[in-house]
Amino acid sequence: MKQEPNPNKIYPRTNDFTTVYLKNVITNSNIIVDDFTMYNDFYNDPKDFEKKNVLYHYPINKDKLIIEKFCSIACGAKFIFNSANHTQKSLSTYPFPIFYEEWDNTMKVCEAWDNKGNIVIGNDVWIGFEAVIMSGVHIGDGAIIGTRALVTKDVPPYTIVGGMPARIIRKRFEDSVIEDLLKVQWWNWSTQKIFEKLAAIRNGDIRALKR
């Protein structure tokens, strides 16, 4: 039997320094990544993910990026947080609260934008090349985000989206298969059990997966 996969190493492939297990290079406590989620970057050092790919993520707002297990994140994917926005409640788009020292000391910096909440990525999600995920978006388990898609709304489980802004293209499987996958939650199994069922996973054999 092969050596058991180790989710706690940085580089999962020998002599490949373009791909990392993401959780092992994150230092920001507001970025939470689970086991085996990988990021590939052939332009920049993938270890710089939180600096180059998670943008406008200022501590003052306390919003979070949460990415579950077995996700595949392609080169250049970006996660744009709330602080990138300018509030639309105001009659002006100018961010006066950011410059409270000059205008009004009673303003709070966070009032400069509308807070839409965390970005949450489910398990087994594939995010394509240079896709952009906006603040407040939740992406369901098993979804696929197309190349350079701009995701501004929640994505249901096992759904493929693409475009600018992203639109639903189709479901990956029939509803009954999706229901079974969401019940089975293979990503929460032990590595030993995943080994045993790997052929069923790779061959799309839902019956064998459920046995």
Active-site residues: which are they? 86
165 cis-preceded (ω within 30 degrees of 0): yes
At 109, is the secondary structure helix, strand, or coil?
helix
Q: Output phi, psi for 198, to 5 deg.
A: -60, -40
At 95, is the secondary structure helix, strand, or coil?
coil
SS in 3 state form for 117-177? CCEEECCCCEECCCCEEECCCEECCCCEECCCCEECCCECCCEEEECCCCEEEEECCCHHH
DSSP for 6-71, please give it: -TT-S-SSTT--SEEEGGGG---TTEEE-TT-EEE-SSS-GGGHHHHTEES--GGG---EEE-TT-
Place of tokens 């744009």: 80
